[in-house]
Amino acid sequence: MKTDTPTAGTGQHCAEVRRGRPRSEAAEQAIFGAVEDLMAGGTALSELTIEGIAAAAGVGKATIYRRWPNKEALLVDVVSRLEEPLPEPTGAGARADLIALVDHVRRRGLAKRTRWVLKAALGQMQTLPELYTAYRDRVIKPRREVGLGLIRRAVAEGVIRDDLDLELLNDLLMGPILYRSILWDDSDLEDPDLARKLVDSMLEGLAPR
């Protein structure tokens, strides 16, 4: 098993390259892929073992323990990396940025694998409370902060009224698309105009004018 041997011959100074980088990107990818496959295939988090993951990834247990102290730490990384970076500001104002954020969630929900793994993780986090806490702190909270920052800017730009609670606004804007993408399997997410429709319907209001 050579996957942990640092790649030779790159000509770079290893001290710089090694810091914060996996010794072997390939081994790490194989481990992440194995856990995702196991979760997407229906293995409960509580049934996952370092041994089983190592076997599925085709690496030794030591390769896993060299990077993660325990199963929980590995699972946090697996679930975190399924979250793609949030979209950058479009430069076209708060309404366009809100649509871009909702569309980001829509596209994430379209990826069946992501959906299954997140659903499995969400449903089983009660068996691993540390995983839930880490996921909340590393994934949920930062995403919520980005959403709230965007909403604050939309209020400042006069796109959103200033008399509503920010948390409520966040749930109003993010709730429908998260509901459609995470909760049920058969929801339609394919309409590329869905995010715009959602945001505009919400901004304009559902009551007739």
Tokens of 135: 């996921």
User: With contact defined as beta carbons under 8 Å apart, do 187 and 181 qualify?
Assistant: yes
Q: Give the nearest distance from C-beta 173 to a copy of itself in angstroms.
A: 8
The one-letter amino acid at 131: L
Check binding of 161 to a copy of itself (CB under 8 A). Answer: yes
Q: Please, which residue, 4 or 72, has the CB nearer to a copy of itself?
A: 72
The one-letter amino acid at 40: A
Check binding of 179 to a copy of itself (CB under 8 A). Answer: yes
- Residue 163 phi/psi, 5-degree rounding, is -105, 10
As a whole number of angstroms, the distance between CA 26 and CA 140 comes to 28
Check binding of 49 to a copy of itself (CB under 8 A). Answer: no
Check binding of 192 to a copy of itself (CB under 8 A). Answer: no
Tokens of 73: 């730490």
Q: Give the nearest distance from C-beta 36 to a copy of itself in angstroms.
A: 13
Identified binder of a copy of itself from the candidate list 1, 17, 62, 164, rule CB under 8 A: 164
Tokens of 21: 């980088």
Positions touching a copy of itself (CB under 8 A) are 40, 42, 44-47, 116, 119-124, 126-127, 132, 136, 140, 158-162, 164-165, 167-169, 171-180, 182-188, 197-198, 201-209
